[in-house]
Amino acid sequence: MHHFTDRGGRLFAEDVDLSALAADVGTPVYVYSEATLRRHFRVFADAFAETETLVAYSVKANSNIAVLKVLADEGAGADVVSAGELHRAMKAGIALKRIVFSGVGKTRDEIAAALDAGILQFNVESAPELHLINDVAAAAGARAPIALRVNPDVAAGGHEKISTGKKEDKFGVPWSAARALYAEARALDGVAVKGVDVHIGSQIDDLAPFEAAFSKVASLINDLRADGCEIDTLDLGGGLGIPYGEGAIPPHPDDYAAMIKRVTAPLDVKLIFEPGRMIAGNAGVLLSRVVYVKEGEEKRFLIIDAGMNDLVRPAMYDAHHDIRPVAARTGDKVPYDVVGPVCESSDRFAKDRPLEPMQAGDLVAVMSAGAYGAVQSSQYNTRALVPEVLVRGDQYAVIRRRPTFDDMVSLEAAPDWL
Ligand SMILES: *Cc1c(COP(=O)(O)O)cnc(C)c1O
């Protein structure tokens, strides 16, 4: 459930009229609902209330410092995948002992920064990474707390570009190598084995692949313990899907939690989760204004002022986003291709989407854009990075301002010889 609602034919974010917000801040703009962020976090955390659990929000889904502060205030930890995300999490006040570090390509400098900060756990994705962490920690006279991210070879994820738990994916330690790598890890002086980690993909709308993966991991933990390895934490990753207005309705966190309790109760481990999309996805919309309605020979195009550089999900993952007029329009629906101004044919938000007849100047809200939206935005076509706004009740604040053209070129320099 989210707090973007229709009030008498006008779309509101909590108690803020989105037309008024757009007139004030300009478009395109991302708008987030603080109440929705908090609500989603609580629904997830409450589902595991009786179990010792850390909910480490996946920072890459939406890494704005204000969003992280809202979640820190709810008691969230953070799952980071770069030193930059670690910097953000620390800046937002997320407790270091609630931060886990994931990702296949952690560099020496990133490992050193996280070790120095004193994070809870490194989720290690390969043998060479394990040895690099060991080297960095041993040189500092420390022991790095680690879990191995294992690849359970389970197919999952709404799109091949977001599946991460099959053996042909780059993620995690191959299933057949996991037990031996744990034995290797235990012999190292610079690491302390804490647990097991798994993350099988994103936008998963079915409990079956989760259950298949988690059951395999549970049996691995039993094997590891039989080998004499202490396992205290079990990180089950993120990946729970959200409703995008089309396609399957993903499981409710309560059902997800019931399944997990059934599978993991005998293990007596502290659970860690890394949800991203489930917290932020439906807490944000991308607000955009219609620039032109263009009648093509075979198509009617709604050309809006947001582009694929602002929200890349439709172009990159063929993702569906509902598109709503911000002020209700009348008349029979007609099909529109909703496109942006970027000079790429893939700059399209929707194909043949039935909408009430729209006019230049009308506002639309691209729904469910709170996760993997602003974080993937770019300045392609030298379009200003899209700003972000946070709403609380009837107030709102700009939490990332729109850069000026001078801001945009300020990191560039011509060499002396020009
Ligand atoms: C992306 C990612 C997540 C978050 O996935 P969601 O689908 O947004 O919940 C969690 N853990 C890891 C390791 C990830 O790469």
**Tens place of pLDDT for every residue, the chain, 418 residues?**
889 999 999 999 999 999 999 999 999 999 999 999 999 999 999 999 989 999 999 999 999 999 999 999 999 999 999 999 999 999 999 999 999 999 999 999 999 999 999 999 999 999 999 999 999 999 999 999 999 999 999 877 555 655 667 777 788 999 999 999 999 999 999 999 999 999 999 999 999 999 999 999 999 999 999 999 999 999 999 999 999 998 889 999 999 999 999 999 999 999 999 999 999 999 999 999 999 999 988 899 999 999 999 999 999 999 999 999 999 999 999 999 999 999 999 999 999 999 999 999 999 999 999 999 999 999 999 999 999 999 999 999 999 999 999 999 999 999 999 9
Q: Which residue in 187, 343, 414, 418 is the catalytic one?
A: 343
Distance 239 CA to ligand 1 centre (A): 6
Q: Residue 115: enclosing H or E segment and its boundaries?
A: helix 108-117
Angle subtended by helix axes 127-139 and 178-186, to nearest 10: 10
- Residue 274 Cβ contacting ligand 1 at under 6 Å: yes
Ligand 1 atom nearest 164 alpha carbon:
15
Ligand 1 atom nearest 276 alpha carbon:
8
Separation between Cα atoms, residue 128 and residue 145, nearest integer Å: 16
Ligand 1 atom nearest 204 alpha carbon:
7
Note whether 10 and 328 are within 8 A (CB). Answer: yes
Note whether 74 and 45 are within 8 A (CB). Answer: yes
pLDDT at position 193, please?
98
pLDDT at position 166, please?
75
Ligand 1 atom nearest 372 alpha carbon:
8
Note whether 327 and 293 are within 8 A (CB). Answer: no
- Residue 58 Cβ contacting ligand 1 at under 6 Å: yes
- Residue 40 Cβ contacting ligand 1 at under 6 Å: no
- Residue 199 Cβ contacting ligand 1 at under 6 Å: yes
343 is catalytic: yes
Q: How far is C-alpha 81 from the chain's CA centre?
A: 11
pLDDT at position 159, please?
59
For ligand 1, mutation pick of 102, 205, 240 (most atoms within 8 Å of CB): 102
Give the predicted TM-score (pTM) of the model: 0.96
Q: How far is C-alpha 50 from the chain's CA centre?
A: 26
Residue 26 structure tokens = 């300009």
- Residue 62 Cβ contacting ligand 1 at under 6 Å: no
CATH numbers and ranges of domains, the chain: 4-32+281-409 (2.40.37.10), 103-273 (3.20.20.10)
Give the single-character DSSP code of 405: H
